[in-house]
Amino acid sequence: MNVKFALSFSVVSSSKSTQKERKRKRGDNGGRVDSEEDAEMKKKKKESQRPNYFVSIPITNTQISAAVLEVQEAVLQREPRLARAMIPVPTLHITLLVTHLAHKHTKKQTNPPSLAELLGGRDLVLPFSKIGHFRKEVVFVGLAAGQHRHTLDSVAELLRGHFEERGLLQEGNRGFEPHLTIMKLSRASKLRSQGIKRVDPALYSNYTNKCFGDQTVERVDLCSMLKKKQQDGYYHTETSLQLELRRMLCRFSEAAQLRNILLNGVLLLK
């Protein structure tokens, strides 16, 4: 099937910060002052590189959102103290990677036809079903097995490679395991002091094998972890990678045309 795949993905790029080299101080104990200063600088550098953005696929299917809300409400009826651990339905998403991006902008342009070739003009539909957990601290809706999983893995790997080439990939991005988080204890640190250290699977046992619905991937977003959420409740979105597939299906039929379209696709790193 021949289609036009148009890409436009602007992201905030990490700019290399320049610092004036400080004069080293010498103390009575030799290099002790130096080592203390170095340790402090390393600590500050580590904190400054904490993830502040993530690339995600938003959940836009209201059937999935309604099903998640149903599960959350059922859990809260049995354990109201978990209210703050619930993921707000408007923010539901799948995280593809996390990154730290500086506030300054640089523009670069690259041409990644492999993403267009990867999808091959097909819709990427993600069927969500069954509930799982990570150490009973994070509860999520899983992704059913199938070819879509391989396609999603490839898309995630392509994006990780793109960020890694630019030195923007954070630690912890390896071992991609797509999941839709619906509860997370770390959202409510006070729960531990109240004796809640785990989410008992019995609270959602009636929904363990539930089918939540299918999500057609419409876009991939670059979202801020720190900025104020949008009016619709979703994360502040700097920009999106739009997958314009359906509307282009009947407009291009020749292989040569498809090749030219792919070569003209652009990925803007802003």
pLDDT tens for each residue of 175-189: 789 999 999 999 998
Task: Give the tokens for residue 192.
Answer: 């531990």
**Res 74 pLDDT > 80:** yes
- How big, in percent rounded to 5, are the helix, strand and coil portions of the chain? 35, 25, 40
Alpha-carbon span 2 to 60, nearest angstrom:
27
**Res 109 pLDDT > 90:** no
Amino acid at residue number 260: N
Task: Give the tokens for residue 16.
Answer: 């290399």
Beta strands in the chain (DSSP E): 53-58, 93-99, 108-110, 125-134, 138-143, 180-184, 211-216, 219-224, 237-242, 267-269
Taking CA atoms, 209 is separated from 78, 100, 142, 186, 229, in Å, by 19, 36, 10, 25, 32
Residue that is written with structure tokens 């019995």 in the block: 202
Nearest CA to 97 out of 232, 241, 207 is that of 241
Please state the rounded mean pLDDT for residues 208-230: 93
Q: How much is the pTM?
A: 0.71
Greatest CA separation found in the chain?
78
CATH class of 53-269: alpha beta
Q: How confident is the model at residue 234 (pLDDT cuts 50, 70, 90)?
A: very high
* pLDDT reported for residue 237: 92
Q: Classify strands 180-184 and 108-110 as parallel, antiparallel or unpaired.
A: unpaired
Sign of CA dihedral 2, 111, 240, 64: positive
**Mean pLDDT of the residues in the chain:** 75
Domain boundaries, the chain: 53-269
Q: Of the spans 20-34, 224-238, 243-257, which averages the highest pLDDT?
A: 224-238
Q: Of the spans 2-16, 18-32, 141-155, which averages the highest pLDDT?
A: 141-155
**Res 251 pLDDT > 50:** no
Cβ(13)–Cβ(106) below 8 Å: yes
* pLDDT reported for residue 103: 63
What are the pLDDT digits (tens) for 28-68? 555 555 565 665 555 555 555 788 899 999 999 999 999 99
Please state the rounded mean pLDDT for residues 210-227: 92
Please state the rounded mean pLDDT for residues 84-100: 94
Q: What order of strands is seen across the sheet that includes strand 180-184?
A: 180-184, 138-143, 125-134, 211-216
User: Looking at per-residue confidence, does 177 or 3 come out higher?
Assistant: 177
Give percent of the chain above pLDDT 90: 43
Q: How confident is the model at residue 130 (pLDDT cuts 50, 70, 90)?
A: very high
Q: How confident is the model at residue 155 (pLDDT cuts 50, 70, 90)?
A: confident
